[in-house]
Structure 1
C-alpha cells in the first residue's frame, strides 16, 4: 500500500464511487434501527424487554469487526483487492437477512434475524472505513469521511421513510395481531435490493492500491498462520492502541449509548408520549409508528445537508475536528432532551434536525481523527478494534443500562429514555476536550 505522502488526491466523484456502497449499508442500518423495535413490539415484546432483544447485534460487532479488519489488512487479490472481497461477502449475506427479517413469526426468530443482519452488515462496513484511509492522503481524510457521511445521510432519510411511502402508495400498514404489516415487508425488500446494488457499484467502479511490498505481506501471512496467532495479534493491537484512540473511545462510548437508546426506544417513547398510542394492533399505533420512521428520517436528511456543507468546507479550508465534533454532539443532545418538552408532533422534526447534526459528525470526525493517528498498515484492524467503543456501550445499554439509568435518574415514563440519550450525547461532546493530539484534531 502506498504511503500517505505518495497518495494522489482524488476527485469528488472518485471518493463518491468508493463510498457509494455505504448507501446500501445505511439502508440496512436505518431499517434495522427504525423498525426492528416495531417488529419486536408487533410480535409481543414488552417495552423493557426490547434492549435485550437487540443485544446480539452489538455482541456480534464486538467479535466480527476486529477479525474482519485484521483479515482485510492481510488480504490481497490481484483482481478484487484488499477490502472489496469483504464488501461482496457482507453484501450477499446482508441482502438475504434484510429480506427475510420482517417475515419472522416469533420473537426468537426476529432476534435471530437481527443478529444475522447486523453481523453481515459489519462484514462490509469497517472495510469501507478502512478504504477511505487506504485511498486518501491525510489532507483529504476529513473530506473523504464527510462525503461518506453525505451518502449515509441520503440512505438514512430514504430508508427511514420507506414504510411511510409504502403506506401512501396503498400498501397496508396494519395486519393481524402478531403479524408484521406489508408496508414494512415491502420496505425491507427494497432495502435489500439497494444494499446489494450499491455495494456492487463500489466494487465495479473502485480500484485499490496494491501493497508496497507484496512479498513482505506474503511472509507476514506465512508467519502468522492460524486462528490463535490472529487472535494474539488482535489482542496485542488492543493493548497497544494509541492514546488518541482511547480518548476517542470515551467520546464514542457516550455517543453510541445515546443512539442505541434512540433505536431501541424511539418508537415506544414517541408513540406513547406524543401520539398516546399503545395498542400495537391498532390503526393509531401503526400510523404513529410510520410517523416515527418519518421523524427519524429527518435526522438522516439533516445529516446529509450538514455533510454537504462540511464537504464544501473541508475541500476548501482546514478544520478543527475536535471543536466541530464537540459542538455537534452537544446540539444533538439538546435535540433528544427537547422531545420530552414538545407538545406537537411536527416539533419532532426540529428535535431530530439537531440529532442529525450530531449523526453527521459521529460518522465522520472520529474516523478522520483516528486515521491520522494509527499505522496505515494496520488501518483495517484498528478500524475494527475502534468499533469496540461503539458496541460496548450498546451491550451495556442492552443488559439493563438504559432501563436502570432512566428510571433511576428521571422516572418511569418511557419518554425519559430520550432525555437519557440527550444527557449521554452532551457528555460525549464535552469528552472531546481531553483529546490533545494535534495531528488527530486538525487537518494537515
Structure 2
C-alpha cells in the first residue's frame, strides 16, 4: 500500500521541459490565429465593424469546451495514455487539420467554420495542459512549472507570429489578389500545423502520468461520485437560476428594442441556457438523482473557493483587454501607421508588421517569465507582481495614442509582454496551490470561463459600440483596452495569497 503522506517526486529541468513542451506547439497555433484571422477575414471582404462577430467563434468554443474537457479529464484513465494526454493528442490532430485547411478558404463562411474548429481543438489540448502542471509537480514547484509553461507559450507565439514576416524576407509572395490569402500566410499555417502536432506528441511520448492510486496517495481519493457536490446542490434554491434566465431575456429584449447587432442574441441565449442548466442540476440533486456532468460543472461553478472568485474578476477585465487587442491591432496599425486600406500592398506590409509586434510581446513574455517575474514574486509575492505587470500592460495599450512611428510600437509591446507573461503564470500558480488537486481539471476549466466570457462580451458588444461612436476610428479600441487592463490591476488588490 502507498504511503498516503508521500509527496510527488521533484522534477528536474528535463522533466519541466517535457511537461510543458507541447504548449510550444499549441501556442504557435494560437499565435497564427490571433495575428492573422482579422487579416484573413478582411482579405475575404468583411467590413471593420463585422470583425468582432466573426471572432465570436473563439470565445464561444472555449466557453463550451473547457469546463467539459476539464470535468472529463479529471475522470479519464486510458491505460498507457493516461489522464490528460488523450486530450492533448486528440486536440492536436484536429487543430493541425484546421490550420492546414484555413488558408485555403475562398469564402468567408469557410474561414469562420475553420476558426470554430481550430479554436475548439486548441482548447481541447490546452485546458488539460493547465491541470497537467498541477498533476505532475509538487506545490513548491507550481510557480516554476507555470513559468516554464509561460516561456514555451511565449516562444511558440514568437514563432507563430513572426513566421509570415520571415517568409516575406525570404522572398515568398506577400501580396495577393482581392479575395485571396497571401502565400506568406498559407505556408505559415501549414508549418504551424506540423509544428503543433510534433510538439504535443513530444510531451505525450516523454511523460508518464501518475496512476489513479498514486494520485490518491499524494492528494487523497477523488470524489468522482460527487456526493459533496450533490449535497450542496440539493441545498440551493432556484433564485439564482431564475436570475440568470431573466438577465438573458432582458438582453434579448434590449437587442430587439434598440435594433442592436444580432450577434448579441447569442449573449442572451447563453445566459438563459446557464439559468436552465443550473435549474435542472438543482432539481436532479433535490430528487436524489446522480449529479452527472451537468451537476458537477454547475455545482463546482457555484462553489468556487473565494480566492478563485476574486481572481475570476481579474481575469474578466484582463482578457477583455487582450481580446480587444487581438481583434483590432491589425486595423489600427494598418490604418493609422501605414495609411492603408484592405487589399492593398501597404495593408499587407502593415499586417506583417503586426506579426512582428505580436512576436515582440510574446518574446518579452518568454524572457520575463523566467527572469523578471520570479525575481519580483520572491520579493513582493505573486499577487503584487501580477498587479504591477497588469499596469505595464495598461501603459502599453495607452501608448498607441502617443506614438506615431510604427517602429516605436515595439516599446508598447514590451509593456504588453510583461503583462502577458504574468497573465499566463501568476493566476494559475496561485490557484494550483490553493485548489484541491483531485478536482484541478474541472476548476481550471471553470476558471477559464472567465477567460472566454469577456472575449464573448467583446465580440458581441464592441462592434456595436464602435459602430455607434467611432465607426471609422479603431484606435479608440486601444483606449478601452488600457482602461479595462487598469481595472484588472485594481481588482488584484482584493487577492490575498496563502
Given the alignment, which residue of 371, 381, 384 partners 1:309? 371
Residues 146-177 of structure 1: CA distance to partner in whole angstroms, max 9, x if unpaired? 11001111111111011111111111111110
CA deviation after TM superposition for structure 1 residue 201, in Å: 0.3
CA deviation after TM superposition for structure 1 residue 185, in Å: 0.3
CA deviation after TM superposition for structure 1 residue 77, in Å: 2.5
Are 2:388 and 1:327 aligned?
yes
Are 2:369 and 1:368 aligned?
no
Rounded to whole Å, the distance in 2 between the matches of 1:406 and 1:364 is 35
CA deviation after TM superposition for structure 1 residue 318, in Å: 6.9
State the match for 1:419 in structure 2. 479
Are 2:316 and 1:259 aligned?
no
State the match for 1:293 in structure 2. 355
State the match for 2:130 in structure 1. 129
- Identify the range of structure 1 (416-425 vs 395-404) with the bigger mean alpha-carbon deviation: 395-404
State the match for 1:77 in structure 2. 78
CA deviation after TM superposition for structure 1 residue 357, in Å: 0.3
Residues 250-270 of structure 1: CA distance to partner in whole angstroms, max 9, x if unpaired? 100111001100110100011
Could you tell me whether the CA contact under 8 Å between 1:5 and 1:137 is conserved in 2? no
Q: Which SS does the other structure have where 1:20 is aligned?
A: helix
> Aligned pair in 2 of structure 1 residues 79, 337: CA closer, same or farther (>3 Å)?
same
Q: Counterparts of 1:3-42 in structure 2 under 5 Å?
A: 6-42=7-43
Rounded to whole Å, the distance in 1 between the matches of 2:362 and 2:193 is 19
Residues 374-419 of structure 1: CA distance to partner in whole angstroms, max 9, x if unpaired? 11100000000011100000010000236527965x8851111112
Rounded to whole Å, the distance in 2 between the matches of 1:335 and 1:23 is 25
Larger Rg: 1 or 2? 2
The alignment's TM-score, normalised by the length of structure 1, stands at 0.92
State the match for 2:281 in structure 1. none
State the match for 1:193 in structure 2. 194
CA deviation after TM superposition for structure 1 residue 217, in Å: 7.4
Paired residues, what number? 434
Rounded to whole Å, the distance in 2 between the matches of 1:21 and 1:7 is 22
Q: Which SS does the other structure have where 1:172 is aligned?
A: coil
Are 2:494 and 1:434 aligned?
yes
Residues 282-314 of structure 1: CA distance to partner in whole angstroms, max 9, x if unpaired? 111111111111111110111111012057648
CA deviation after TM superposition for structure 1 residue 78, in Å: 2.7
State the match for 2:301 in structure 1. 238
State the match for 2:450 in structure 1. 389
Could you tell me whether the CA contact under 8 Å between 1:303 and 1:360 is conserved in 2? yes
CA deviation after TM superposition for structure 1 residue 7, in Å: 1.5
CA deviation after TM superposition for structure 1 residue 20, in Å: 0.2
Could you tell me whether the CA contact under 8 Å between 2:70 and 2:444 is conserved in 1? yes
CA deviation after TM superposition for structure 1 residue 104, in Å: 1.0
State the match for 1:442 in structure 2. none
Rounded to whole Å, the distance in 1 between the matches of 2:363 and 2:89 is 27
Rounded to whole Å, the distance in 1 between the matches of 2:118 and 2:195 is 15
State the match for 1:272 in structure 2. 335
Rounded to whole Å, the distance in 2 between the matches of 1:205 and 1:248 is 33
Are 2:150 and 1:149 aligned?
yes
The alignment's C-alpha RMSD in Å is 2.5
Rounded to whole Å, the distance in 1 between the matches of 2:445 and 2:433 is 16
Q: Which SS does the other structure have where 1:272 is aligned?
A: helix
> Aligned pair in 2 of structure 1 residues 255, 214: CA closer, same or farther (>3 Å)?
closer
Q: Unaligned regions of 5+ residues in structure 1, if any?
A: 440-444
Residues 328-357 of structure 1: CA distance to partner in whole angstroms, max 9, x if unpaired? 011011001101210111111000111000
CA deviation after TM superposition for structure 1 residue 74, in Å: 0.4
Q: Which SS does the other structure have where 1:356 is aligned?
A: helix
Rounded to whole Å, the distance in 2 between the matches of 1:49 and 1:98 is 23
Given the alignment, which residue of 343, 350, 354 partners 1:281? 343
Rounded to whole Å, the distance in 2 between the matches of 1:323 and 1:219 is 34
State the match for 2:403 in structure 1. 342
Rounded to whole Å, the distance in 1 between the matches of 2:222 and 2:13 is 34
Q: Which SS does the other structure have where 1:45 is aligned?
A: coil
